[in-house]
Amino acid sequence: MSKILGIDLGTAITKSASIVNGEPKALENREGSILTPSIVAQTKGGERVVGILAQRQAITNPKNTVSAVKRFIGRRFSDAEVQKELKLLPYETREKSDGGVEVKMGDKWYNPIEISSMILQKVKADAKDKLGEDVKNVVITCPANFDDSQRKATIAAGEIAGFNVLRVINEPTAAALAYGFGKKDAQKILVYDFGGGTFDVTILDVSPEVVEVLATGGETHLGGNDFDQRIIDWILTEFKKEQGIDLAKDPLALQRLKEAAEKAKTELSSAMETNINLPFITSDADGPKHLEYKISRSQFDSMTNDLITRSIDRVKQTLEEIKMDRGEINEVILVGGTTLIPAARDAVKNFFGKEPNKSINPEEVVAIGAAIEAEILTAKEEGRTPEGDIKSVLLLDVLPLSLGIETLGGVSTPMIMKNTTIPTSGSQVFSTAVDNQSSVEINVLQGERSMASDNRSLGKFVLDGIPPSPRGIPQVEVKFDIDANGILTVTAIDKASNKSQSIKVEGSIGLSKEDIEKMKKDAEINAADDQKKKEMIEAKNIADNLIYQSEKTIKEGGEKVSAELKKEAEDKISELKKVKDGDNIEDIKKRTEELSQAIQKVGAAMYQATQQQPQEPKKEEGPENAPEAETEKE
């Protein structure tokens, strides 16, 4: 089974995704980021570097640092648009003999296909590092408005990098695939792609057979950077007003401010307010100056409102071009980091009157869709089921509610927790609560509540014939086993006598969805109350046990200690007895602690007495709080 890649080969940033453990997942590059800048450079030392490394040396080596070649791939040098873009470039370009574009890096001329292939080679090497094997099959994405020659050039770049390019698909189509749209019925889908530097809107008609692009629109210079700039401009103005210093003239201060603005923007996606603190931002004759501003989400929204309105206007315009009403759009998908801004999400939601699809990280969704497509195509080629689609073949259920048994004081003790995948089993060892107890009742419970009476009883049975012994000594192992069909078998075995008893519960584990939801809700509502009840019972159980152990200690070794100590312990016992059946948990805990200390003194005195008379070794149970139900996990 070969590993695949989906590659979102962007103008500025390239991302890739694969199927990892059955789930599509964006891959990190060697530098630990999912974002690889689409930049290639030949360093002054003659070494070729790609991605963030190329970006870091760009300032010292602008002529040999090539970026944004996607704008020229498969296009003619003489194109008016290409000509316009060429003017902005720091590196040299020329017309190739066949009319295409060539760029210079080092002493050599390269065509944009070769440069793109260098980016893809890095993606390939990084993926090999991450996935542990070489990757051949890939699907690469391109903008919806790429023409045939641009697509062919993209394929060529992939093949030069050593990939087998299964297909080149549109970026918005990949996003729709990531969400699994169009599997059953045809749907009209609008992809709202708000990236770092560009805004694109695409309307798709997606059906099981074909994906058709109905319309595309957008703006080439509208993106997240504009949002950052608004924060920067605001601070520059405020700072100038307050301090009389123009930070825009200080490149270092501006750099710090840029980073802080981007961070603030990101923070405002989750927080309602954030601080921009830049101490020692600059200084003048009066000494150092600090920058400190608070920015609220609503302030940010009003600063950037027009940018979002512009994007929505583009959406309207694109719909108008194909005479489509917004109501005809079945689904809206958000793509690009800028759609993480709550105001952008709200604007889309308000415009369409429905919730847009945003559950997949908008920065990864295109690469993920491409990976899904690559996996489907490769699986078909290899005659297997696509990974990640295995669920349709082998359906493993999970337990909707926890299963447990009733223990001392009516507490529900869970044996198998909810959401455990079945088949599964679990066992615990329990003991008796009173001396010479010859039988135990196993009450099988279902539900999340702390008290047995609040949960549903699936059945009861009795294990008898336990040999007489003091409480806490017998070991009864209770085992729960659920097979793949949801049939529960509960078995109890007395480890001493090997006697066992079991019960089988069929069908009734499966409750209706409504019942399950109701039971879960009840548990949530009553969680605090239940916890109190449980604590109360636990406190009573501990008190009860300590009384038992203390009485036993005094009875067995009382003659070895002074009457005074014995009297104190006995008093504490009767005090605890008085409160233990009441409702005051603090009182019970306090008296328990007092008795515990008194009986420890007795124990210590007994130990000393035994040391003085070594000829009389006597085994002691020890007065410490032996747990009521001894448990031991398998």
Partner 1 sequence: MKEEKTIEEIEKMLEESEQKKEEYFSGWQREKADFINYKKQEFERLKGTLCIAKESLFEEIIPVLDNFRLAEKAISEEDKNNKSVVGLLMIKKQLEDVVKALGLEEIESIGKAFDPALHEAIEEVEGGEVGIIAEEVEKGYSYNGKILRPSKVKVGK
In the complex, what is the shortest distance from the CB of residue 451 to partner 1, in angstroms, rounded to a whole number? 35
Spatial CA neighbour of 356 closest among 373, 335, 372, 371: 335
In the complex, what is the shortest distance from the CB of residue 44 to partner 1, in angstroms, rounded to a whole number? 6
Toward partner 1, which CB reaches closer, 203 or 247?
247
Q: How many CB atoms lie within 10 A of CB 398?
A: 10
Q: Where are the alpha helices (DSSP H) in 87-223?
A: 112-131, 148-160, 171-178
349 catalytic? Reply is no
For every residue of 51-109, DSSP letters joined together read: THHHHHTGGG-GGGEEE-GGGTTT--TT-HHHHHHHTT-SS-EEE-TTS-EEEEETTEE
In the complex, what is the shortest distance from the CB of residue 280 to partner 1, in angstroms, rounded to a whole number? 4
**For residues 362 and 339, is the Cβ–Cβ distance under 8 A?**
yes
| Cα(41)–Cα(395) distance, integer angstroms | 50
Toward partner 1, which CB reaches closer, 57 or 378?
57
**For residues 196 and 307, is the Cβ–Cβ distance under 8 A?**
no
193 catalytic? Reply is yes
Toward partner 1, which CB reaches closer, 47 or 320?
47
Counted residue by residue, the chain has a size of 634
Toward partner 1, which CB reaches closer, 39 or 211?
39
Residue 5 DSSP SS3: strand
Selected catalytic residue, list 8, 114, 200, 494: 8
Half-sphere exposure of 148 (CA within 13 A, CB side): 0
Toward partner 1, which CB reaches closer, 43 or 475?
43
| Nearby residues of 608 by Cβ (< 8 Å), 6 or more positions away | none
In the complex, what is the shortest distance from the CB of residue 375 to partner 1, in angstroms, rounded to a whole number? 17
Residue 4 DSSP SS3: strand
In the complex, what is the shortest distance from the CB of residue 374 to partner 1, in angstroms, rounded to a whole number? 22
In the complex, what is the shortest distance from the CB of residue 310 to partner 1, in angstroms, rounded to a whole number? 32
Partners of residue 480 on adjacent β-strands: 426, 490
**488 CA to centre of own chain:** 32
Q: What are the angstrom distances between the C-alpha of 555 and each of 116, 518, 575?
A: 88, 52, 18
Selected catalytic residue, list 70, 130, 358, 572: 70
In the complex, what is the shortest distance from the CB of residue 540 to partner 1, in angstroms, rounded to a whole number? 40
- DSSP state letter for 263: H
Toward partner 1, which CB reaches closer, 180 or 288?
288
Selected catalytic residue, list 102, 114, 126, 193: 193
β pairing state of 456-463 and 440-446: antiparallel
171 catalytic? Reply is yes
| Nearby residues of 93 by Cβ (< 8 Å), 6 or more positions away | 72, 77, 86, 101, 102, 103, 104
| Cα(418)–Cα(141) distance, integer angstroms | 41
**What amino acid is encoded at 288 in this protein?**
P
**Torsion sign (Cα): 86, 87, 88, 94:** positive
In the complex, what is the shortest distance from the CB of residue 66 to partner 1, in angstroms, rounded to a whole number? 15
Selected catalytic residue, list 114, 126, 171, 364: 171
| Cα(221)–Cα(310) distance, integer angstroms | 11
Toward partner 1, which CB reaches closer, 281 or 433?
281
Toward partner 1, which CB reaches closer, 29 or 432?
29
In the complex, what is the shortest distance from the CB of residue 278 to partner 1, in angstroms, rounded to a whole number? 8
Element containing residue 136 per DSSP (H, E): none
Partners of residue 492 on adjacent β-strands: 478, 501
Crossing angle (nearest 10°) for helices 297-321 and 342-352:
40
Spatial CA neighbour of 162 closest among 354, 7, 326: 7
Spatial CA neighbour of 356 closest among 317, 381, 376, 329: 329
Spatial CA neighbour of 113 closest among 97, 101, 125, 99: 101
**For residues 547 and 595, is the Cβ–Cβ distance under 8 A?**
yes
Toward partner 1, which CB reaches closer, 252 or 525?
252
From first CA to last CA, the distance across the chain in angstroms is 36
In the complex, what is the shortest distance from the CB of residue 241 to partner 1, in angstroms, rounded to a whole number? 23
Toward partner 1, which CB reaches closer, 65 or 304?
65
In the complex, what is the shortest distance from the CB of residue 107 to partner 1, in angstroms, rounded to a whole number? 18
Residues that bind partner 1 (CB under 8 A): 21, 31-32, 43-45, 49, 53-60, 251-252, 255, 279-280, 283, 287-288, 394
In the complex, what is the shortest distance from the CB of residue 468 to partner 1, in angstroms, rounded to a whole number? 44
Toward partner 1, which CB reaches closer, 280 or 607?
280
355 catalytic? Reply is no
Toward partner 1, which CB reaches closer, 85 or 389?
389
Half-sphere exposure of 579 (CA within 13 A, CB side): 21
Give catalytic residues, as residue numbers: 8, 70, 171, 193
